[in-house]
Amino acid sequence: MSLVIDGRPPAFASPLHVGHPWTGSRARFDGIVDRVFREARFTNDGPCVREFESAIAALHGTKHCIALTNGTLAIQIALKTLKAEGEVIMPSFTFVGTAHAAAWIGLRPVFCDIDPATFTMDPEDLLRKITPATSCILPVNVFGNVCDFGRIAEIARPRGLRTLYDSAHCTGCAAHGVPVGGQGDLQILSFHATKTLHTFEGGAILTNDDALADTARLLRNYGFTGHERVACVGINAKMHEISAAYGLACLPDLSFIAERQRRNALAYEHGLRDVPGIAVQTPPEGVDSTRHVAVLLVDEAMFGLSRDAMLELLWAENIRARRYFAPGCHRLKPYADTHRGALPVTERLAETILCLPNDASLDAGSIAAVCEIIAEAGRRADEVRMAFGPAAHEAPVPALTR
When computed from its CA atoms, the radius of gyration of the chain, rounded to whole angstroms, is 22
> Applying CB under 6 A, does 25 fall inside the site for ligand T4K?
no
- The one among 107, 140, 161, 296 contacting ligand T4K by CB under 6 A: 140
Span of 17-25, 103-111, 346-354, 372-380 interacting with ligand T4K by CB under 6 A: 17-25
Compute the half-sphere exposure of residue 201: CA atoms within 13 Å on the CB side of its CA: 10
Whole-angstrom distance, CA of residue 325 vs CA of residue 160: 30
> Applying CB under 6 A, does 95 fall inside the site for ligand T4K?
yes
Whole-angstrom distance, CA of residue 365 vs CA of residue 114: 35
Whole-angstrom distance, CA of residue 236 vs CA of residue 48: 18
Burial 133-154 (b: 16+ CB within 10 A, else e): ebbbbbbbbbbbbbbbbeebee
> Applying CB under 6 A, does 367 fall inside the site for ligand T4K?
no
| Residue 170 neighbours by CB under 8 Å, 6+ apart | 141, 144, 146, 180, 181, 187, 189, 289, 290
Comparing CB distances to ligand T4K, the nearer of 57 and 326 is: 326
The sign of the CA dihedral 186, 204, 76, 81 is negative
For residue 86, count CB atoms less than 10 angstroms from its CB and return exposed for 0-12, middle for 13-18, buried for 19 or more: middle
The footprint of ligand T4K on this chain (CB under 6 A) covers a number of residues equal to: 24
Whole-angstrom distance, CA of residue 101 vs CA of residue 120: 19
| Residue 360 neighbours by CB under 8 Å, 6+ apart | 22, 24, 256, 257, 260, 261
- The one among 122, 166, 312, 347 contacting ligand T4K by CB under 6 A: 166
CB 86 within 8 A of CB 134: yes
Segment 109 to 128, residues that bind ligand T4K, using CB under 6 A = none
- The one among 46, 203, 234, 271 contacting ligand T4K by CB under 6 A: 203
> Applying CB under 6 A, does 402 fall inside the site for ligand T4K?
yes
> Applying CB under 6 A, does 144 fall inside the site for ligand T4K?
no
Span of 49-57, 89-97, 108-116, 261-269 interacting with ligand T4K by CB under 6 A: 89-97
- The one among 21, 24, 47, 86 contacting ligand T4K by CB under 6 A: 21
> Applying CB under 6 A, does 184 fall inside the site for ligand T4K?
no
In 3D space, the residue among 219, 256, 197, 281 whose CA is nearest the CA of residue 83 turns out to be 219
Q: Which residues pair with 331 in a beta bridge?
A: none
Supply the DSSP symbol for 392.
G
The sign of the CA dihedral 69, 290, 274, 16 is negative
Q: In the stretch 309-328, what mask flags binding to ligand T4K with x, by CB under 6 A?
A: -----------x---x----
Comparing CB distances to ligand T4K, the nearer of 167 and 207 is: 167
- Rounded to a whole number of angstroms, the minimum distance from the CB of residue 138 to ligand T4K is 10
- The one among 33, 103, 193, 387 contacting ligand T4K by CB under 6 A: 193
- Collapsed DSSP state (helix, strand, coil) of residue 214: helix
Segment 30 to 59, residues that bind ligand T4K, using CB under 6 A = none
Comparing CB distances to ligand T4K, the nearer of 20 and 263 is: 20
- Rounded to a whole number of angstroms, the minimum distance from the CB of residue 191 to ligand T4K is 7
Whole-angstrom distance, CA of residue 290 vs CA of residue 60: 14
- The one among 81, 92, 190, 358 contacting ligand T4K by CB under 6 A: 190
- The one among 62, 81, 98, 120 contacting ligand T4K by CB under 6 A: 98
CB 299 within 8 A of CB 352: yes
Comparing CB distances to ligand T4K, the nearer of 77 and 374 is: 77
Comparing CB distances to ligand T4K, the nearer of 189 and 369 is: 189
Comparing CB distances to ligand T4K, the nearer of 168 and 278 is: 168
- Rounded to a whole number of angstroms, the minimum distance from the CB of residue 16 to ligand T4K is 10
Span of 70-78, 85-93, 113-121, 221-229 interacting with ligand T4K by CB under 6 A: 70-78
Q: Catalog residues that contact ligand T4K under the rule CB under 6 A.
A: 17-21, 70-72, 94-95, 97-98, 140, 166, 168-169, 190, 192-194, 203, 320, 324, 402
